[in-house]
Amino acid sequence: MRYLPKSPAERQEMLAAIGVKSVEELFSSIPDAYRLKKPLNLPGPYSEQEVIEYFKARAVENSEGYAHFLGAGVYNHLSSVVTDVIIQRGEFLTSYTPYQAEITQGTLQAIFEFQTLMCQLTGQEVANASMYDGSTATTEAVLMAERLTGRTRVLVARSVHPEYREVLRTYAKNSGLHVEEISYAAAGTLDVKALKAAIGPDVCAVVVQSPNFFGVIESPAVLAEIARSAGALLVVAIAEGVSLGAVMPPAEADIVAMEAQSFGLAPSYGGPYAGVVASKEKYVRQMPGRLAGQTTDHDGRRGFVLTLATREQHIRREKATSNICTNQALCALAATVHLTLLGKEGLREQAAQNLSKAHFALNELEKIPGVKRRFSGAFFNEFAVEFPKSVKMVNAELLREKIIGPFVLGSAYPELSKNALVCVTETTTREAIERFVSGVKRAIAELK
């Protein structure tokens, strides 16, 4: 086997050195009745070429050749080959969690740079080294708010990603949190009146997403004031990080939970991505997840270490701030390289292109009789539109033209059954937008 570096003779030599006759003897502590007597029924062994062929055969069974207008928490953005070249360096790819700081300064400094970039983007003072994804980061942010306030009621906007809310409910169920949902207003933003009516002295967190699931930008400053008037914390989730190149960051939020997928991470059918929790410095001791900090060595040189580990499970066990013991280091590294490549000007330009293209697409769609935007609030690169026909049926027509249509909002919001969530990024060409719009037009006309 090509991955195993031993000849048969060396195996025998080693068994002799150990003092056993056969490898079976080394497994003698497993009761005989429980030892497998036959080989596992697994496909393989495959050569490298066969492994590649298997996956290439699967790849063509997917959506190759289709244009798509899906966002809804996962975004197609440009990325540079440089990012992949860097993260495939064995020194990064095959290194462990940097507990031994003297020989992992590369990973540690990169995490420190990641934390800095995340603070700059979100307008927050501290950011962690990353967590699983946006959905779990949002839940961890709420658990953090619970620890900080000692309260257990959570008010979450219905315009937060439906799957983020599902994850929050799963975690809340057994940790004594009570989750209530607050509806949206005509603008597509959180219904402020409903929030004011629901908030009270038992609320630990108000959770919104911005841009929210409908693509509409919320006003964190206003919401923070309402939350604070009741002693609650404002948690802002961000699923589309590129928006921060054009939209004011939620600096007023107490905790930000961000999905970093938009920063150079491939959609990859749902993962791996990287979630981030960012917050105010005064809350840092209740932050979940790893943190890299700057320090000095015995000779006074600058260096970096994982710090404030007394929050973490390997020290605190059942009293830890979270049970999570990994970060998504390689994904965070990809985001760091990607954002460094983009730089200040690149991110600004990318965000501006998203904004222009999404507005262009909406304008074109609204030229179709009966198609109109559902919400009036400002949006970034995603918007909800109402079709005069079922979105599912329109999408079925579009598939014939090799277009994967927009997200069907009715699947998560029954009251929006005729609404589609259209996403357009800098990767969507004008030609694709025009083809999509004429496809929608044709579909609506034909679906009499």
Partner 1 sequence: MRGTMTEMIKKAGRQTNQNEGLIFEKSSPGKRAFELPPLDVPAVDPAKALGAAHRREGVEGFPEVSEIEVIRHFTRLSNWNYAIDLGMYPLGSCTMKYNPRVNEFVARLDGIATEHPYQPQDLSQGCLKILQLLETCLLEITGMDAITLQPAAGAQGELTGLLLIRAHHTKNGNPRKKVLIPDSAHGTNPATAVIAGYEVENIKSNAEGQVDLGHLRQQVTEDVAALMLTNPSTLGIFEQAIPQIAEVLHAKGALLYMDGANMNALAGVTRPGELGVDVMHLNLHKTFSTPHGGGGPGAGPVAMKKILEPYRPVPVLVGKEGGRLALDFNRKDTIGRVRAFVGNFGVLVRALAYILAYGPGIRQATEDAVVNANYIRKGLEGVYDLPYTRPSMHEVVFSDAIQKRNGVNTMDIAKRLIDYGFHPYTTAFPLIVPGALMIEPTESESKEELDLFIDAMKSIAKEAAEKPELVKTAPHTTRVSRLDEVGAARKPVLRWKSEEKRSEAAD
> Do 334 and 327 contact (CB within 8 A), yes or no?
no
Residue closer to partner 1 by CB (options 135, 149) is 135
d(CA 395, CA 415): 19
- CA-closest candidate to residue 268, choices 76, 442, 123: 76
Angle 14-18-24 from CA coordinates, rounded to 5°: 85
Instruction: Count CA atoms within 13 Å of residue 297 on its CB side.
Output: 9
176 backbone dihedrals φ, ψ, rounded to 5°: 75, 15
- Residue 112 touches partner 1, criterion: CB under 8 A: yes
- CA-closest candidate to residue 73, choices 125, 145, 136, 127: 136
Count CB-CB contacts under 10 A for residue 66.
12
The stretch among 132-140, 145-153, 178-186, 200-208 that binds partner 1 (CB under 8 A) is 132-140
Binder to partner 1 among 229, 268, 376, 438 (CB under 8 A)? 268
- Residue 448 touches partner 1, criterion: CB under 8 A: no
For the chain, the C-alpha Rg in angstroms (whole number) is 25
d(CA 136, CA 115): 18
The stretch among 188-196, 201-209, 298-306, 365-373 that binds partner 1 (CB under 8 A) is 298-306
3-state secondary structure of 289: coil
- Residue 376 touches partner 1, criterion: CB under 8 A: no
Which residues on adjacent β-strands are paired with residue 372? 386
- Residue 271 touches partner 1, criterion: CB under 8 A: yes
The stretch among 30-38, 148-156, 228-236, 365-373 that binds partner 1 (CB under 8 A) is 30-38
Binder to partner 1 among 341, 417, 441, 442 (CB under 8 A)? 341
The stretch among 189-197, 352-360, 367-375, 382-390 that binds partner 1 (CB under 8 A) is 352-360
- Residue 230 touches partner 1, criterion: CB under 8 A: no
By CB under 8 A, what part of segment 186-215 binds partner 1?
Answer: none
Q: How far is the CB of 306 from partner 1 (least distance, A)?
A: 9
Q: Buried (b) or exposed (e) across 182-194, using 16+ Cβ within 10 A?
A: bebbeebbbbeeb
- Residue 133 touches partner 1, criterion: CB under 8 A: yes
Binder to partner 1 among 206, 208, 330, 335 (CB under 8 A)? 330
Q: How far is the CB of 389 from partner 1 (least distance, A)?
A: 18
Interface size with partner 1, residues (CB under 8 A): 199
Q: How far is the CB of 393 from partner 1 (least distance, A)?
A: 13
Residue closer to partner 1 by CB (options 230, 308) is 308
Tokens of 57: 């055969």
Binder to partner 1 among 26, 186, 197, 445 (CB under 8 A)? 26
Tokens of 129: 């080294």
